[in-house]
Amino acid sequence: MQHTAQFETAPETALEWHTSGAGAALATVVQTWGSAPRRTGAQLAVSGDGRIEGSVSGGCVEGAVVVEAQEALADGKHRLLEFGVSDADAFAVGLACGGTIKVLVEPIGAALPADLLAELVEARASRAPVAYEVNLTTGARRLARGAYPDRMRMDRSGLEDDGETFVAVHNPPLRLVVVGAVHIAQALVPMARIAGYDPVIIDPRAAFASAERFPGEALMDDWPDEAVQKLGLDSRTALVLLTHDPKLDDPALQAALAADVFYIGALGSKKTHAARAARMQQAGFTEDQISRIHGPIGLDIGAAGPAEIAVSILAEITAVLRGKQP
Per-domain residue ranges for the chain?
10-170, 174-321
The yes-or-no verdict on residue 287 having pLDDT over 70 is yes
pLDDT at position 219 is 96
For residues 153-173, average pLDDT: 94
* DSSP classification of residue 112: B
pLDDT at position 88 is 62
The yes-or-no verdict on residue 119 having pLDDT over 70 is yes
Question: Residue 321 to residues 181, 183, 194: CA-CA distances in angstroms?
Answer: 23, 24, 16
Three-class secondary structure of residue 141 per DSSP: strand
Band of the pLDDT at 87, cuts 50, 70, 90?
Answer: low
For residues 295-314, average pLDDT: 96
pLDDT at position 1 is 35
Band of the pLDDT at 35, cuts 50, 70, 90?
Answer: low
Name the region of 286 (left: φ>0; alpha: ψ -120 to 50; beta: rest).
beta
For residues 249-260, average pLDDT: 94
For residues 71-94, average pLDDT: 78
The yes-or-no verdict on residue 315 having pLDDT over 50 is yes
Distance CA 23, CA 159 (A): 28
For residues 111-121, average pLDDT: 97
Question: Residue 295 to residues 224, 263, 314: CA-CA distances in angstroms?
Answer: 19, 11, 14
In terms of pTM, does the model score above 0.85?
A: no
pLDDT at position 89 is 60
The yes-or-no verdict on residue 160 having pLDDT over 70 is yes
With CA atoms as reference, report the closest residue to 129 among 177, 167, 176, 164.
167
Please give the helix or strand (H or E) that residue 174 lies within, else none: strand 174-179
pLDDT at position 34 is 74
- pLDDT over 70 for what percent of the chain? 92
Topology (CATH) of 174-321: Rossmann fold (3.40.50)
With CA atoms as reference, report the closest residue to 293 among 261, 247, 321.
261
Tell me the CB-side half-sphere exposure of residue 247, using CA atoms within 13 A.
5
- pLDDT over 90 for what percent of the chain? 79
